[in-house]
């Protein structure tokens, strides 16, 4: 039997599996029976699996594709609180990263199956109580992502001029929740981004990018208007540890370093390993230090010649935000200066830091908190289903393979599963989200085929019977055809503005367009 090896499609970012004689992308492949994926188990069930997926981001779609491909009779209904699908692919990916959004085309293919049903504009747990939802499905997969951001919990955090990166990203991407954020980018020529993840670099890049470059993307028109008036010329990206512990990827760093007319500054070379040190490491370990060479090389434009700049500031933890006298506006940020607890571990990924007792102040009237997202429990999740939600980590308690478990981890909750950030927390990129979704889907498939307990008191009829349940209170549910109408209208609006699309930023506008064409 030929060994399977992991490869990547040349025309999409999804990871696939192949042998010398077989290669297919699980999302691109038809969601029908595929000989390679036939199970060796005899299915003891008397009818096909009926699965409800809560959330329509990449995790939900990847899981749907996997289940529908491996269980050729399975039917999947996907529920989304917004009238539009795709979650963070639509509202989280930076507008100047259109290639990352190519996976939407694969998801469109999944949605064309007669065994798939999209139901948008519905809040599961409110419009559809979870104990009602469970009565119509064999299994529930929670894939609804992270809708909250983490706070710093320090003095002055609510001053005007301080925003969460999640809100700012949602604002420039047209997320209805943040359509009215209206950040004032004219009050300061320096912005501080607190955090060292990819989202932090996205924020920095959007603030420093040429308006002419952004105009042709799907960035929202209100963001273009605000950014065109921006006074921001310098962005400080602050991290509590060093660059070798940063969570951002080489790709994100390279993009920021190669922005035209943007200079880069990094003051403490001792935090970056030398070429000699890197060469002394095993080959696999050397890969972790490739971006050390990028930091050493710096930006294409020298700091002195650049019109705009960014500064990577390490070993700095914000202590407090200071207001301008007589106002509630941000004026400056006080940082604690940190040190590595073990100086010899400063290049290790897990190195920890402690405050030195010294502090310093950065003058700025604009700051972005980018220290992570977190999910929250759906109403009734524990009371109605027995699913435990860990409020500290912002995740559904699970066995690491997607099965929801009791608080002590000793008991599986029948028929309940999690994937994506609701399972793992806000980590990884699209490719890792896909792998995680596959694993959760495989758990569902294995449990179904092996005869494990699922949701016992259900009719297995899904949306057909759920939509007629008197306990369901949905005003205007959105079908996939409704979404295609919204999609076409957004593309038409974008074409008129010389861009790929102009998103609707109001739910009521989406519903008006959808129901005008498809009552």
Query: Buried b vs exposed e over 18-54: b needs ≥16 C-beta within 10 Å?
Result: beeeeebbbbbbebeeeeeeeeeeeeeeeebbbbbbb
- CB count, 10 Å around CB of 318? 22
Pairing relationship of beta strands 389-390 and 373-374 according to DSSP bridges: unpaired
Which residues have a Cβ under 8 Å from the Cβ of 422 and sit 6 or more positions away? Answer: 55, 59, 142, 143, 144, 145, 146, 375, 395, 396
Q: Is 429 annotated as a binding residue?
A: yes
Q: Is 514 annotated as a binding residue?
A: no
Give, in degrees to the nearest 5, the angle at Cα 204 between 200 and 206.
115
Could you write out the DSSP letters of every residue in 365-405? SEEEE-S-EE--PPTTHHHHH---EETTTTEE-B-SSSEEE
CA–CA separation, 67 and 514 (whole Å):
29
Q: Is 203 annotated as a binding residue?
A: no
Q: Is 59 annotated as a binding residue?
A: yes
Secondary structure class of 95 (helix, strand, coil): coil
Helix 58-70 to helix 430-449 angle, to the nearest 10 degrees? 40
Q: Is 240 annotated as a binding residue?
A: yes
Could you tell me the two tokens for 230?
A: 């921006």
Q: What is the DSSP secondary structure assignment for residue 176, as one 8-state letter?
A: G
CA–CA separation, 40 and 341 (whole Å):
53
Q: Is 88 annotated as a binding residue?
A: yes
Q: Is 421 annotated as a binding residue?
A: yes
CA–CA separation, 119 and 476 (whole Å):
10
Q: Is 43 annotated as a binding residue?
A: no
Cα atoms in the Cβ-side hemisphere of radius 13 Å centred on 356:
13
Q: Is 80 annotated as a binding residue?
A: yes
Q: Is 157 annotated as a binding residue?
A: no
The CA–CA distances, whole Å, from 284 to 116, 117, 347, 442 equal: 42, 44, 15, 30
Identify whether the C-beta of residue 352 lies closer than 8 Å to the C-beta of residue 341. yes
Q: Is 430 annotated as a binding residue?
A: yes
Q: Is 198 annotated as a binding residue?
A: yes
Q: If we measure between CA atoms, which residue out of 428, 429, 384, 390 comes closest to residue 408?
A: 390
Q: If we measure between CA atoms, which residue out of 1, 131, 128, 101 comes closest to residue 457?
A: 131
Identify whether the C-beta of residue 43 lies closer than 8 Å to the C-beta of residue 451. no
The CA–CA distances, whole Å, from 197 to 176, 194, 360, 451 equal: 24, 9, 23, 42
Binding residues, as ranges, are: 59, 80, 88, 124, 196-199, 240-241, 252, 421, 428-430
Residues annotated within a binding site for NADP(+): 196-199, 240-241, 252, 428
Residue ranges at the known binding site for FAD: 59, 80, 88, 124, 421, 428-430
């Amino acid at each position: 039997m030929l060994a399977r090896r992991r490869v990547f499609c040349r025309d999409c970012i999804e990871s696939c599996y192949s042998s010398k004689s077989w290669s297919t992308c699980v999302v691109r492949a038809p969601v029908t029976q595929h000989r390679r994926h036939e199970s060796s188990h005899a299915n003891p069930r008397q009818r096909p699996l009926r699965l409800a997926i809560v959330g329509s981001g990449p995790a939900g779609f990847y899981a749907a594709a996997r289940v529908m491909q491996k269980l050729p009779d399975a039917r999947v209904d996907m529920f989304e609180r917004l009238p539009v699908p795709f979650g963070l692919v639509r509202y989280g990916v930076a507008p100047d990263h259109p290639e990352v959004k190519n996976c939407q085309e694969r998801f469109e293919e999944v949605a064309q199956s007669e065994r798939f049903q999209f139901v948008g504009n519905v809040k599961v747990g409110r419009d559809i109580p979870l104990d009602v939802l469970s009565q119509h499905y064999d299994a529930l997969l929670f894939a609804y992502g992270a809708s909250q951001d983490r706070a710093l919990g320090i003095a002055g955090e609510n001053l005007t001029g301080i925003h969460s990166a999640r809100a700012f990203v949602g604002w420039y991407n047209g997320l209805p929740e943040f359509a009215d954020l209206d950040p004032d980018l004219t009050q300061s020529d320096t912005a501080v981004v607190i955090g060292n993840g990819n989202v932090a670099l996205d924020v920095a890049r959007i603030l420093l990018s040429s308006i002419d470059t952004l105009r042709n993307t799907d960035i929202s028109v209100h963001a273009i208007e605000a950014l065109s008036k921006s006074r921001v010329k310098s962005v400080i990206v602050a991290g509590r540890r060093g660059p070798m512990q940063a969570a951002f990827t080489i790709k994100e760093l390279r993009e920021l370093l190669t922005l035209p007319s943007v200079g880069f500054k990094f003051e403490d070379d001792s935090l970056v390993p030398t070429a000699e040190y890197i060469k002394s490491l095993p080959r696999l370990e050397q890969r972790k230090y490739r971006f050390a060479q990028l930091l050493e090389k710096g930006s294409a434009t020298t700091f002195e010649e650049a019109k705009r700049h960014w500064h990577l500031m390490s070993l700095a933890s914000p202590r407090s935000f200071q207001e301008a006298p007589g106002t509630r506006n941000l004026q400056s940020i006080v940082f604690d200066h940190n040190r590595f607890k073990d100086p010899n571990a400063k290049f290790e990924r897990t190195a920890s830091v402690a405050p030195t007792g010294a502090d310093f102040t950065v003058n700025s009237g604009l700051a972005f908190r980018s220290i992570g997202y977190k999910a929250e429990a759906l109403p009734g999740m524990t009371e109605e289903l027995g699913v435990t939600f860990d409020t500290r980590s912002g995740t559904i308690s699970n066995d690491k393979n997607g099965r929801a478990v009791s608080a002590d981890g000793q008991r599986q909750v029948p028929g309940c599963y999690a994937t994506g950030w609701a399972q793992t927390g806000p980590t990884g990129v699209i490719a890792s989200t896909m792998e995680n979704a596959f694993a959760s889907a495989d758990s569902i498939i294995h449990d179904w085929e092996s005869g494990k307990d699922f949701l016992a008191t259900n009719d297995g009829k899904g949306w057909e019977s759920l939509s007629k349940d008197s306990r369901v209170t949905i005003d205007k549910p959105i079908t996939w055809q409704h979404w295609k109408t919204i999609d076409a209208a957004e593309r038409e609006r974008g074409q008129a503005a010389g861009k790929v699309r102009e998103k609707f930023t109001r739910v009521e506008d989406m519903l008006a367009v959808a129901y005008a064409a498809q009552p």
